[in-house]
Amino acid sequence: LGHDLPVEELRLPEDFGWGAATAAYQIEGAASQDGKGKSVWDTYSHLQPSRTNGQHADVSCDHYNRMPEDVDLMASLGIEVYRFSISWSRVIPLGGRNDPVNEKGLAFYNDLINRLVARGIKPVVTLYHWDTPQALYDRYGGLLDTAEFRADFARYARLCFTQFGDRVRKWVTFNEPYITSIFAHLNGTLAPGHCREAGTDTKTEPWRVGHTILLSHTDVVLMYACEFQPSQKGDISIVLNGHFYEPFDAGSPADRAAAKRRMVFYIGWFGDPVFLGRDYPAEMRSYLGSRLPEFMPEERDLLRQAAPLNAFYGMNHYSTKYARKLSEPPAEDDWTGNIEESSVNSEGKEVGPASAMGWLRVAPEGFRKLLGWVWERYHVPIIVTENGCPCVGEDDLATAVDDKFRQRYLGLYLDAISRAIYEDGVAVKGYYVWSLMDNYEWSAGYGPRYGIVHVDYETLKRTPKNSALYLRDTFKRRRGVSS
């Protein structure tokens, strides 16, 4: 690994739940089986295969047809929690509030949830993991039309609570709104890659998409609390991703401010409205001006009412970066708070050893600091809803199984959680590794493998990697022990 930090295997709380995460489009396959409609990902991966490493997920891990085997595998690995997402276009093929429901799609998720519950594995369900029904994008631009999307998302959420809420105790509305706003509507590296089409406005659209997500989330949190929570007794929140940022030049006040501002632009953008029930951060207003939408007075009321109902902060975290302030004035299409980010600082020091993805470097100290940052700002219990990494050379089964790099990464990041809990007083309640199995990594196709289980994409055979056994054993040994 080339990292000088040893894994210490520090203790973790008795009731600390561990599990694994996936997302529908990345693992299910069965792209048009049993009446499933298309999502923007089905379209994007076929129309523009060059944007997705030449690959699509029509078959992927074929989890849709191998689900019983996959649930048995989870049970054999001692997994206690399984975070998965529902494919909206599998349960409502055209997606809209007046469109028909697909009973076969509902039956698949009912069967999955029943099998999990039968093995004592707790389902954590994400409603939206990037796969907007294509029909909604065609009708009104999907997330770009706030009012239409809110109404359609509310109907879809109500269907899911009604169908599955008697057995699902933890819900996530949206996965990583930052990524959907920026990568799918500004950089265009994720579906629908909207910004690459004629007549788009990348100066305002990413912020409108974020606005739509925030209001849709708020509606559904309030709906769950009023209509479902009293009988179903579960909880609900959102999942936000974000790097931790260190200053590029630690001696420069401007870079120190830049690192702080970058996190506000990344995490505060969504975290402040959701968990504090208030407007976008002031730094964002001052840099983005009228490009950032306004919350109407009645929308501010909704945010305020919903804020305390978000039961946990779902944190997806992988790595740390350096932030450097750019020279003034900011570019007129600036979206970062006038910041440039890098993996190397002013002294040429790398933030940590690289994984198979250049941006994903091993930096557990940044993770510990981020847990503290979120706790201090929002004071809500944190669940790490994704963390993991791809190793080099994992196409080869023998290399994949002997995944020392990943075991070391996971060990170091678990130690960071332990320190956050016991030394810094942060409430961290659970940990879900990304991912249960190798899968379709969006624009990188089947290149990087994040699984703790190897998938042979020819035979679809699953083989647990040593990291899976490491996690099973580490959670047996380390919980509740004093050290």
Nearest Cα residue to 8 out of 351, 315, 419, 368: 419
Beta bridge partners of 128: 174
Tell me which residues touch ligand PNW (CB under 6 A).
23, 26, 175-176, 179, 241, 243, 316, 318, 359, 386, 434, 441, 450
Q: How far is the CB of 151 from ligand PNW (least distance, A)?
A: 26
What does the alpha-carbon distance between residue 238 and residue 438 come to, in Å, rounded to a whole number?
24
- At residue 99, what is the residue type? D
Output 311 or 433, the one with its CB closest to ligand PNW: 433
Output 224 or 434, the one with its CB closest to ligand PNW: 434
What does the alpha-carbon distance between residue 105 and residue 76 come to, in Å, rounded to a whole number?
26
- At residue 159, what is the residue type? L
Q: Single out the catalytic residue among 28, 386, 394, 441.
A: 386
Q: How far is the CB of 441 from ligand PNW (least distance, A)?
A: 5
DSSP string, 267-335: IIHHHIIIII-SPSPHHHHHHHGGGSPPPPHHHHHHHHHHGGGEEEEEEE---EEEEEEPPSSPPTT--
- In the 3-class helix/strand/coil scheme, how is 232-244 assigned residue by residue? HCCEEEEEEECCE
Q: How far is the CB of 351 from ligand PNW (least distance, A)?
A: 13
Q: How far is the CB of 21 from ligand PNW (least distance, A)?
A: 8
Residue count of the chain: 483
304, 341, 355, 358 from 350: Cα distances, Å: 41, 12, 13, 11
Catalytic residue status for 328: no
Q: How far is the CB of 242 from ligand PNW (least distance, A)?
A: 8
Question: In degrees, to the nearest 5, what angle opens at C-alpha 243 toward C-alphas 308 and 423?
Answer: 70
Q: How far is the CB of 468 from ligand PNW (least distance, A)?
A: 17
Q: Single out the catalytic residue among 28, 176, 246, 441.
A: 176
Q: Please, which residues have CB within 8 angstroms of residue 147's CB and are 6 or more apart in sequence?
A: none
Give the CB-side neighbour count of residue 97, counting CA atoms within 13 A: 11
Catalytic residue status for 386: yes
* Residue with the two structure tokens 């930090």: 5
Output 228 or 432, the one with its CB closest to ligand PNW: 432
Output 58 or 166, the one with its CB closest to ligand PNW: 58
Output 22 or 212, the one with its CB closest to ligand PNW: 22
Output 241 or 418, the one with its CB closest to ligand PNW: 241
Q: Which residues are the active-site residues? A: 176, 386
